[in-house]
Amino acid sequence: MSSEMREKCGVFGVFNHPQAADLTYYGLHALQHRGQESAGIVASDGKTFRHHRGMGLVTQVFSRDILDGLSGNMAIGHVRYSTSGQSLLENAQPLVFKYSEGDLAVAHNGNLVNARVERDVLQQQGSIFQTTTDTEIIAHLIARSSKKHFAKAAPDTLKRLDGSFALLIMTEKQMLIALDRHGLRPLSLGKIGDAVVAASETCALNAVDAKFWRDVEPGEWLLIDENGVQTGRFAPKSEQSLCSFEFVYFARPDSIIHGRSVLAIRKELGQILAKEHPIDADVVIAVPDSSIPAAIGYAAQSGIPYEIGLIKNPYVGRSFIEPTQELRELAVRLKLSAVEGILNGKKVVLIDDSIVRGTTSKRIVQLLRQAGAKEIHVRISSPMVRNPCFYGVDMPTKEELFANKHEQEQEMGRSIGADTLAFLSTDGLLKAVDVNLAETSNRCIACFSGAYPTKLYLE
């Protein structure tokens, strides 16, 4: 269940469109899967910022009245997920500041690995902080830059940031778009007539009917103002290390990242999985909804028919009241329902996109058994997750990871009650997510392999 690993943010921006805030609302709505805890939009009419942020889904945070108040033809927006301790409105983005040159708004997807170091330096210099986010550092660095003018100061500041960032920064009249030197998070550009649009994923470009223009390159910045688009680099062109989990789970299946269809890749992951770990069975089923494409791929490759064996209750959400102790056993049933007619007496291949903690997998296997499944063969369309992510993904601790609690696949399978269990190999993953196998740094696979593309600044 990849929902146990969570992408933390999505960003969206529009420059030079009369309905900038409305488009940002729809763009964020299309990126809602990237963060459900808070949402915010800052708009500028060239002179003044207007902003609104709130806790909850995009549709809960904004009303028609609020959107109408966000006038202006440029806007940036943000959706966010955070661990509970820091789930404060103060930390909701875009962050908004006033500094010597005027207003500044920052929307950031990613995580700065040198945040603590830079924060200490800034505080020693007399800076005060109002949030506990790494993102606030960016604004301080711009304000303190030795370069005059945002157009010079902002690109210059990017050099000091280590880690992952897909970044939108706005002043009253300008917008800066930038991506970290490793390209750890996705960031795409689109156009609607003369307007420029930036979004974490292309599904948000489609939502607002923007024509795809191109992806932002690692180490690149774009500065957009009334004179048009200016581009530059704060780091040399280098190996890209886009998060491979974007393909496995985070991105919406209709997005295209680096020219590759996420849906097609997920199907291919299933096909490779079928080649690596074939099994004799009657049906292939998926853990809905995220694993369906991989299951279809596995079925196509293996020739075993794909069936709908698990149904998801579409109304399970944030405010759902979890069962009390007495009714604890209902926990999975309330979210997933096994279809007896499909499963009874069958040898079943269950496709899931990952195993993170393992607890949910165990419960799903049990559900299938209760529905009469004769054999259950669990196939995972990604390798074992063994290492923490330092680039903006929320995960359990290393000790809590399923793969670190068990020695080998056989024991793992037994622990979740499956007849067999098998994971996709790292090679299999890379084959699907990037053709260039010689240079594995083309994708970040640190959570599987432990090889991190950046310095980590661990204490």
Whether 9 sits among the annotated catalytic residues: the reply is yes
Beta pairing partners, 380? 352, 423
- 203 annotated ligand binder: no
CB of 113 to a second copy, least distance (A): 20
- 444 annotated ligand binder: yes
When the beta carbons of 76 and 342 are compared against a second copy, the nearer one is 342
Non-local (6+) Cβ contacts of 197 within 8 A are: 12, 13, 14, 15, 17, 23, 27, 189, 190, 191, 205, 208, 210
- 447 annotated ligand binder: yes
Non-local (6+) Cβ contacts of 396 within 8 A are: 4, 356, 357
- 156 annotated ligand binder: no
CB of 327 to a second copy, least distance (A): 6
When the beta carbons of 139 and 376 are compared against a second copy, the nearer one is 139
- 354 annotated ligand binder: no
When the beta carbons of 313 and 410 are compared against a second copy, the nearer one is 313
Question: What three-state secondary structure class fits 42?
Answer: strand
When the beta carbons of 19 and 425 are compared against a second copy, the nearer one is 19
* Upstream peptide bond of 253 is cis (omega within 30 degrees of 0): no
To which H or E segment does residue 52 belong?
strand 49-55
Tokens matching residue 237 = 């062109």
- 352 annotated ligand binder: yes
CB of 63 to a second copy, least distance (A): 7
Residue (of 448, 444, 430) closest to 386 by Cα position: 448
CB of 268 to a second copy, least distance (A): 11
DSSP strand pairing (102-112 vs 163-170): antiparallel
Tokens matching residue 2 = 């990849």
Given the residues 9, 11, 197, 342, the one annotated as active site:
9
CB of 448 to a second copy, least distance (A): 26
Quote the DSSP letter at residue 217.
Answer: P
Asked if residue 186 lies in contact with residue 179, where contact means CB atoms within 8 angstroms, the answer is no
CB of 339 to a second copy, least distance (A): 5
When the beta carbons of 318 and 438 are compared against a second copy, the nearer one is 318
For residues 86 and 64, give the distance between their C-alpha atoms in angstroms, rounded to a whole number: 29
When the beta carbons of 201 and 220 are compared against a second copy, the nearer one is 201
Asked if residue 293 lies in contact with residue 270, where contact means CB atoms within 8 angstroms, the answer is yes
Tokens matching residue 124 = 């020693």
Task: Dump the DSSP string for 247-269.
Answer: IIIIS-TT-EETTEEHHHHHHHH
Which residue do the tokens 């146990």 mark?
4
Identity of residue 100? S
What region does 222 belong to: left with phi over 0, alpha with psi -120 to 50, or beta? beta
When the beta carbons of 236 and 314 are compared against a second copy, the nearer one is 314
CB of 333 to a second copy, least distance (A): 6
- 290 annotated ligand binder: yes
User: What residues act catalytically?
Assistant: 9
Known binding residues for Mg(2+) = 290, 352-353
Q: Which residues are annotated as a binding site for [4Fe-4S] cluster?
A: 243, 389, 444, 447
Extract the annotated binding site.
Answer: 243, 290, 352-353, 389, 444, 447
